[in-house]
Every structure is written in structure tokens, then in C-alpha cells.
Chains A and B, each alone.
Chain A
Amino acid sequence: MSVELLNFIETVLNGLMSGVMYSLVALGFVLIFKASGVFNFAQGVFALFAALTLVGYQTGQVPFAHLINELFGTNYHNWYASMPNFLAILLTMVTMIALAWIIERLVLKHLVNQDPIILFMATIGLAFALEGVGDLMWGSDVKVLDVGIPSGGSIWLEEATIGLATEGSDYYGMYVDVLNIWATVIAVILVVSLALFSQYTKTGRALRAVADDHQAALSVGISLRSIWILVWAISGFIAMVAGIMWGTESGVQFSLSLIALKALPVLILGGFTSIPGAIIGGLLIGVGEKLAEIYIGGYFETGALENWFAYVMALVFLLFRPQGLFGDKIIERV
């Protein structure tokens, strides 16, 4: 095989892997939108908050330490040296469920039957508030997140693909980050679990019923509030997974909340109401932006297509299929 072809395959492969990372963020958006019609602008901050909390538990950081020390003149920073990963993840999950409950109690409950734009605005407020709380709680230093997921180029793949190149050609083998392979496996497990949960459990069916028609679901005795707490808790869990993956890659810091911006074009492409759409959309965006950066980036003086090309793809897609690949068809009855 020619080196050019192998490089092309490598780019596509890496695009797919990056796409999975975007899909992890997009999934949280889709779940909440499906169940409550709310576009949760705070999903990126959820991921940040979950990652901050996880590192906080892992390292035994005292929450709100800075505030406590300032108010009471104390000097508390850590209350234990470290916590096993499993326990820290479990506690983070509990925290995200508690957060979902608080959001339902303090925000959503009071906004039932409001226009979607009001709910959207509320999530913008929520995003900034949660970012501030995260800062107060855990501080804004860059934190190292290590839950034992390996990262770095896959040596196995590199060695296995060196021989594929035409003899005599200068080829190093194919590069894929092991962290991205893990992200792919985890995303597949997540999607399958979500599908099984919504298909075969009573709660899952209730969730689908609410997603299809709020009023009809209410009329058969499904508690809208419990479902909302459940959905926000699940999306909090997904945010935690996304936070772990992205945080392992770059360290946990406040720019992590901006990963939500990567999910927007994915949602436009895949549709706001489809879980498979979030996955396929992520893959298309991932591949599209990597190919664009590598193969046409050189023609642009400023370069750096990787960040904005996804939006170009989304815009073009909007023109032809506004509901996205798998989104519900928009039918306006007059």
C-alpha cells in the first residue's frame, strides 16, 4: 500500500476516534432534549464539574477550602492523601445525581410549561453558576486526572501496520491514541446500555413515553419530575465519562467546559433527538475536520481549520436537512 493511502486511513481513523469523544458530549445533550425539550447549554460545564469533583475526591481536597479558610482563618486543604479510583468515581456519580436533584428542585420545577427559550436561558444561567461553584469548590488550578486509563500512541498498531507500506518506503506505522480506543469502547458500552435500559426496563419505557409526549405520559401516571431527575442524572453520568476522557487528555481545567461547543455541530448533523444520530454525527464531524485540516488546511493562509470546519459542515447540512440525519422530521400543522 502506498504511504499516502496509509496516511489517509490513519487520518480517517483518528477522525473517527475524535468523533467518539465529541459524541460523548453530544449524548448528554440528546438525552435531556429528548426527555424534556430543553437544550442544556450547561452540558459542557457538567463535564467540567464532574471531572473537578472526581479529582477532588481522588486527592482528598476539602471542598470550598479557599472560602472556609478565608472566612474562618483556618488552613484546611486536604483531609486525606488519596482515594481509590473506583470509590472516587462512585462518589462523583452520587454527586452528579444530587446535582440533578438540586437542579430539578431549584430550577426546572419552577419552569414547567414555560417556553423552550426560557428553559434554554435558564441552562445558560446554570452553566455560569455551576462554573462559579466549581471554581469555589475545587479551585481553578490545572489538575492531573488519572483513573488508570492508558494513553499515548498504540505501539501494537504502529508495529502491525509498518509492514503494510510498499517495500522501501519510509513509513513509521499508523498512529492511534490508546485513550481514544478506550473512549470508543466506553462509548459503545454506554450506547448499548442506554438502548437496553430504554427498551427493556419499566423506567426506560417511561422515559421514552415522556420523550414522545409529555401530556400523554402524565395522563397514564408517569411522574414527570422523577423522569426529569433521572434524565438529568443520566446525562450527569455521561458528562462524567466525557469529563474523564477529555480531562485525561488535557488535564482538568476550566477550558474543558468549551468542549460543549464541539458537540453543537455534532447535534446539528445527527439531530437533537437521536442517540445513534449523536454517534454518527460525531464520527462525521471528527473525520470531516481532520481531513479538512490535513488535506486542505495548507491552502488557507491562517490554517487551523480543525476548530471551525465542523461548523461549516453543520451549516451546509442545515440547508438540506434541518432536523439532522436522524432527528424527528419537522412538521408544522396549520
Chain B
Amino acid sequence: MRIKQLLIGMTASVIAVSSYIEMAVADLKFPMLVYRTGAYAPNGIPNADGFVDYYKMINARDGGIGGEKILHPECETGYKTQVGVECYEKNKKGAMVFQPMSTGITYQLIPKATADGVTIYSTGYGRTSAANGKVFKWIFNAPVTYWDGASIAVKHILSNNSNNIKGKKIALVYHNSAYGKEPIRTLEVLSKKHGFELMLLPVDHPGQEQKATWLKIRKARPDNILMWGWGVMNQVAIKSAASIKFPMDKFIGIWWSGSENDVLPAGKGANGYKSLTFNAPGTNYQVHKDIKKFVHDKGEASGDGSHFGTVLYNRGLFQAMVQVEAAVVAQKIHGTSKITPAMYRDGMENVKLDEKRLTELGFKNFSPPFANSCANHGGSGLAAVQQWDANKKSWSMITDYMGSDRAIIDKLIAEDSGKYAKEQKIAERCN
């Protein structure tokens, strides 16, 4: 009798466990590489909160994606490349997509993810030439790349100088890392085209001390400064620029140098500082209303909810939305809600976020429209310029979304990705 009971019990347990496993497999796994600790945590936290709140909202409002719940396990990288790779290895099984949140980690994951068949989505960061889908099948960096960013910043400077910057001096203050060095090649080509002098000023991690850099700037007196900074480097640079009385409206940061964190420590001195962006700040969007209703009002906010509507939080929303949309598209293409990582990649490659779709998703006028394709994983290459108002303590968009110098950027992407394809012996696709 006891043996019979035991056997029945064991059978029931096996059935229960296997049905749990089946349920778990059916869920869509979106692992998150985050940095909620360490030197870059002030930027990592709001961004991660944006992701989590969006996933929670989709699970609560829509019951997941096509009925499949989103699982979003977090792995703490501390913005360290090696730890990021370990996080990827730990979580890659069954993962739909990874968002490395670091150019260094992205570079390391490109060959690994390609071999493993896992999608990498580095939104507006990572290896720029990964925009060439013919070579980088599994890597996406839409809606805009660093090279687009460099070109758009120069375009903005051109528009403020009657389209003539010949003989002008533009300094690039950059994080001395793979990330910070990304725009150099583009700026070198642009300097030849437009006749401006390029001054390169690297700042080592973390960038707490930059006095010599700013003494150099004070002596050289560049007409404009571009910045590719991250973390404390941004705050010190903006404060130093204000301190040497550099005109802040001629200081433009990339989209990772344009959050509230970067300008607040400089106080009034930061007034007029500009940065590029591909997402709007604030909470006046349908997606925020939905998050408030389905997540925050139920006491489910990620963190203390204090980052709601900040630049990096909103960027997290945008990144998560694209990742969710890719799953929606994949489910449509393959006619099943239970998609595999390979199916998910197909979805990401066919994401089409035009104005109509962005409005449906609650992102009307929030970000530039874009579409991926087999050959183009870099999106539309559109970004806008936002400016900081130190009195109101808020950012406001001062331009429309604008495109980059495609003739130059496309050529550079083709060159760099072609070189990579040759090294890695990758046959071009989409032909």
C-alpha cells in the first residue's frame, strides 16, 4: 500500500514538475544585464527600472506577449566587461535577446551570440558597423548609431554656423574606452569634408579628475565641444566647462551624456548644455499612464519609482518596447506565441515602428520612427538635440529628429563590417 502511495505521489510530482517546466519554457525570457551597483549605478538604475516597469506593465495589462509572460531575470555586471560575459553565459539558454548596456560587453558578445544564435540588441551603442545586417545577422543597434550621432552633432553645429565650419576647431572629450573611441573615425572623415580641425581629448575611467584636459581646452579655445562620456566623467566635464566659462550651448554630448544626473551637480552652470537624444523626457505619454495604472499604483514600481520620466528611465522604456515589439512581430511571422530565439531574431529584423505603430504602443512623439530590415539593423539613424534648462531643471527638445550624413556613414559601415566579415570569414547575406 505504502509503495503504491509512494509511486502515485512520485508520478504526480513528475507531472507537476514537467508541466511547470513546460510553462517556464513557454514564457519569454528577456535576461537583463544591469548595473545597479558600482561607479556607474546612478545611470544603470533608472535605465533598468524603465525596462522592468515596462515588462511588468505588459504582463499586467496584456497578460504578456501573445499570452506568454515575460521573464526578466537580472544579472549584475557592475559595467564590467568580464562580468557581463559571465552573465550572458549564465542566462543565454532560452534567452530571446540580450541588451548588454555596455559597448565593451557588446564587443565581447558579438562573436559569442552569433555562434550561439542569440539576438543582441545594443540600442544606440555597441559596435556601430553592426548596423550592417548583411554581416551581423544576430546583432541590432537601431534606431541610431554612434557614427550617426557624430554626424548629427556636426550637422547641428553646421546649422548654427550658416553651414560653414571651415577652419573651426571642434574638440572631442571622450571616455578612453571602446565606447568613447567609436566616433573618432567618423569625425576624422567629417573634419576632412567640412574643413574643421579635430582635437581629441581622452579621459580615463572613471573621469573624476579632468583638470589638465580642461586647461588644454581653455588654451586651445575650440569653437565647439563634443562629448562621449559616461558616469562621473559627464558631471565633472560639464562642471569644468562651466567653470572655464565655455559657452554651454556649444557643448554637445552624445545621448549617454545627457541625463539629469549629468547636469544637476553643475547647478546653474549647466544651463544651455545640449545633448543628442532618441527619446523624449517627461511623463506626458500614454505609456507612462499605463505604467502608472498597472504597475506603480499597485505598488509594483521597480525601485522607489523616483526615476519615472527621467531621460534614462524613458530610454529603458523605449529599449524594452522595441524588444517586446520584436517578439510580437516574431509571433505574427511564425504563427505561434511560443517562439524560439531564432524566431525572435526574425521578429527583430522585421520590426517596423512607424508613427502609427508608435502611437498604438503609447509612444506617440516619443521617439523617431524606424524599421529594421535584413540589410539594415541600425534603424533610421535619426536623433534630435535637447537642451538643459537649469532654472526649470528640465530638458527640452530644440530640434526635430534629423538624419546623419548617409553617404559618409554608410560607406564607413560598409568598410568596417566588410573588414570584420573578412576576418571572421562571414559570407554576406540578404543579396
Instruction: Point out the residue from B202, B203, B304 that lies within 8 Å of A66, measured CB to CB.
Output: B304
Instruction: Please give the distance in Å from A333's CB to the nearest CB on chain B.
Output: 41
- Residue contact A253 to B39, C-beta cutoff 8 Å: yes
- Residue contact A18 to B209, C-beta cutoff 8 Å: yes
Instruction: Please give the distance in Å from A310's CB to the nearest CB on chain B.
Output: 10
- Residue contact A306 to B209, C-beta cutoff 8 Å: yes
Find chain B residues with CB under 8 A from A193 CB.
none
* Chain A window 157-186, contacts with chain B (Cβ cutoff 8 Å), 1 for yes, 0 for no: 000000000000000100101000000000
- Residue contact B215 to A262, C-beta cutoff 8 Å: no
Find chain A residues with CB under 8 A from B306 CB.
77, 141
- Residue contact A304 to B215, C-beta cutoff 8 Å: no
Q: Is A256 an interface residue (CB 8 A)?
A: yes
- Residue contact B204 to A307, C-beta cutoff 8 Å: yes
Q: Is A223 an interface residue (CB 8 A)?
A: no
Instruction: Please give the distance in Å from B273's CB to the nearest CB on chain A.
Output: 15
Find chain B residues with CB under 8 A from A251 CB.
232, 235, 261, 264-265
Task: Tell me the nearest residue of chain B to A152, going by C-beta.
Answer: B243
Q: Is B210 an interface residue (CB 8 A)?
A: yes
Instruction: Please give the distance in Å from A27's CB to the nearest CB on chain B.
Output: 18
Find chain A residues with CB under 8 A from B269 CB.
152
Find chain B residues with CB under 8 A from A307 CB.
204-205, 209
Q: How far is the CA of A262 from the CA of B210 in the complex (A)?
A: 13
Q: How far is the CA of A297 from the CA of B218 in the complex (A)?
A: 16
- Residue contact A141 to B261, C-beta cutoff 8 Å: yes
Find chain A residues with CB under 8 A from B231 CB.
253, 255
Instruction: Please give the distance in Å from A247's CB to the nearest CB on chain B.
Output: 9
- Residue contact B243 to A153, C-beta cutoff 8 Å: yes
Q: Is A125 an interface residue (CB 8 A)?
A: no
Find chain B residues with CB under 8 A from A289 CB.
212
Q: Is A34 an interface residue (CB 8 A)?
A: no
- Residue contact A249 to B261, C-beta cutoff 8 Å: no
Q: Which residues from 212 to 259 on chain A have a C-beta closer than 8 Å to any C-beta of chain B?
A: 246, 249-251, 253-256, 258-259
Task: Tell me the nearest residue of chain A to B305, going by C-beta.
Answer: A75
- Residue contact B213 to A306, C-beta cutoff 8 Å: yes
- Residue contact B264 to A175, C-beta cutoff 8 Å: no
Q: How far is the CA of A296 from the CA of B324 in the complex (A)?
A: 50
Task: Tell me the nearest residue of chain B to A155, going by C-beta.
Answer: B245
Find chain A residues with CB under 8 A from B235 CB.
142, 250-251, 253
Find chain A residues with CB under 8 A from B245 CB.
153
Instruction: Please give the distance in Å from B248's CB to the nearest CB on chain A.
Output: 13
The number of residues on chain A lying at the interface, defined by a beta carbon within 8 Å of a beta carbon of chain B, is 46
Instruction: Please give the distance in Å from A156's CB to the nearest CB on chain B.
Output: 14
Instruction: Please give the distance in Å from A203's CB to the nearest CB on chain B.
Output: 35
Instruction: Point out the residue from A7, A144, A297 that lies within 8 Å of B267, measured CB to CB.
Output: A144
Instruction: Please give the distance in Å from B286's CB to the nearest CB on chain A.
Output: 25
Instruction: Please give the distance in Å from A155's CB to the nearest CB on chain B.
Output: 9
Instruction: Point out the residue from A10, A69, A303, A306 that lies within 8 Å of B210, measured CB to CB.
Output: A306
Instruction: Point out the residue from B176, B243, B261, B265 that lies within 8 Å of A304, measured CB to CB.
Output: B176
Query: Given contacts A151-B243, A152-B269, A258-B206, is CB(A303)–CB(B212) below 8 Å?
Result: no
Q: Is B330 an interface residue (CB 8 A)?
A: no
Task: Tell me the nearest residue of chain A to B218, going by C-beta.
Answer: A175
Q: How far is the CA of A54 from the CA of B208 in the complex (A)?
A: 20
Find chain B residues with CB under 8 A from A306 CB.
204, 209-213
- Residue contact B215 to A294, C-beta cutoff 8 Å: yes
Find chain A residues with CB under 8 A from B41 CB.
135, 140, 253-254
- Residue contact A144 to B202, C-beta cutoff 8 Å: no
Q: How far is the CA of A328 from the CA of B354 in the complex (A)?
A: 72
Instruction: Point out the residue from B200, B232, B265, B304 that lies within 8 Å of A144, measured CB to CB.
Output: B265
- Residue contact A258 to B208, C-beta cutoff 8 Å: yes
Q: How far is the CA of A304 from the CA of B176 in the complex (A)?
A: 8
Task: Tell me the nearest residue of chain A to B245, going by C-beta.
Answer: A153
Instruction: Please give the distance in Å from A76's CB to the nearest CB on chain B.
Output: 10
Q: How far is the CA of A255 from the CA of B208 in the complex (A)?
A: 8
Find chain A residues with CB under 8 A from B216 CB.
293-294, 297
Q: Is B303 an interface residue (CB 8 A)?
A: yes
Instruction: Please give the distance in Å from B314's CB to the nearest CB on chain A.
Output: 16
Find chain B residues with CB under 8 A from A139 CB.
304
Interface residues of B (CB under 8 A from A): 36-42, 45, 176, 200-206, 208-213, 215-216, 218-219, 231-232, 235-236, 239, 242-245, 261, 264-265, 267, 269, 299, 303-304, 306
Given A255-B40, A293-B213, A293-B216, 11 more contacts at CB 8 Å?
A11-B212, A11-B215, A140-B36, A140-B42, A141-B306, A177-B243, A250-B236, A253-B231, A254-B38, A293-B212, A304-B176
User: Across chains A and B, which 6 residue pairs bring their CB atoms closest together, nearest first?
Assistant: A251-B265, A293-B212, A255-B39, A307-B204, A304-B202, A140-B41
User: What are 10 A-B pairs at a CB distance below 8 A?
Assistant: A66-B304, A146-B267, A249-B239, A250-B232, A253-B232, A262-B209, A293-B213, A294-B212, A303-B176, A307-B209
Interface residues of A (CB under 8 A from B): 7, 10-11, 14, 18, 65-66, 69, 73, 77, 135, 139-142, 144-146, 151-153, 172, 175, 177, 246, 249-251, 253-256, 258-259, 262, 289-290, 293-294, 297, 302-304, 306-308
